[in-house]
Amino acid sequence: MPASGQPRRFARGLGRLLALPGLALPGLFLAGAALGALLPENPRRPPPASGITIHIDSSPVHSWLILPVAAAGHDWRDRLPALPDGRAMGPFVSLSWGERGFFLATPTWADFDLLRALRALVAGHATLVHAMGLDAPSGRPIRLTPAQYRCLVAHLEAQIAPGPALRGYGKDDLFLPARGRYSPARTCNQWTRDALAAAGVRVGRWTPLPQGLMWRFVGEGG
């Protein structure tokens, strides 16, 4: 090969090398998420014969918990402000966590913006808890003992930071200041996992994606 072709070959080889991290990082993330979902935390226990049933639900990228508004001596109406139209939450409340900017700018999937999502993932700052009043639960049921339920709600309450509530997407929801920073290591789905783990529920050790979280609850008794 003429000497003049060597710089071009070197540049192509360097470009391939520089591209490897960009290809490897998503693969490493997915492999780590699969392994983290398979490695369990908390021992396997049969669902209690009676207790409090909560639900877990998800979209392709986001998960949330649905709890009765009042159970086991705890009432979310004592902790959450009234809805925008003055009504109290109930009879069920869904709770999820996410990056503030992405949450506020994405009321529906039609508003989804990939660049905004990536910015939230790698450079997110403040976070919010999204609370929504529901007439009925959805998703997959998880039955807890009263003691487990009290651990769960104590953990969830601790995630809400001081400060005023923000208007939500409609008349049935609102946002609350939250603790913690959004990152690839701690996504909304890991937040949901952490809450369930605090209640002693068997979950994967790292579940940044909802699929790694939800599969454990297929066939769970309600």
Domain limits, the chain? 40-217
φ/ψ of residue 105, rounded to 5: -95, 0
- Worst-scoring range by mean pLDDT, 2-16, 83-97, 114-128? 2-16
Q: Which has the higher per-residue pLDDT, 85 or 196?
A: 196
Q: Which has the higher per-residue pLDDT, 22 or 157?
A: 157
- Spell out the residues 6+ positions from residue 6 whose beta carbon is closer than 8 angstroms to its own: none
Q: Residue 109 pLDDT more than 80? A: no
Mean of the per-residue pLDDT values for the chain? Answer: 86
pLDDT digits (tens, 9 = 90+) for 5-16: 555 554 455 445
Q: Residue 123 pLDDT more than 70? A: no
- Worst-scoring range by mean pLDDT, 35-39, 113-117, 126-130, 196-200? 113-117
In one-letter notation, the amino acid at residue 76 is W
Cβ neighbours of 210 (radius 10 Å): 22
Mean pLDDT of 139-151: 97
Q: Residue 79 pLDDT more than 50? A: yes
CA torsion, ordered 137, 206, 185, 166, to nearest 10 deg = 10
Q: What is the pLDDT of residue 14?
A: 42
DSSP secondary structure string, 67-114?
EESEETTEEGGGTSPPPTTSPPP-SEEEEEEEEHHHHHH-SSGGG--H
Confidence of residue 88 (pLDDT cuts 50, 70, 90): confident
Q: Residue 161 pLDDT more than 50? A: yes
Mean pLDDT of 62-80: 95
Q: What is the pLDDT of residue 9?
A: 57
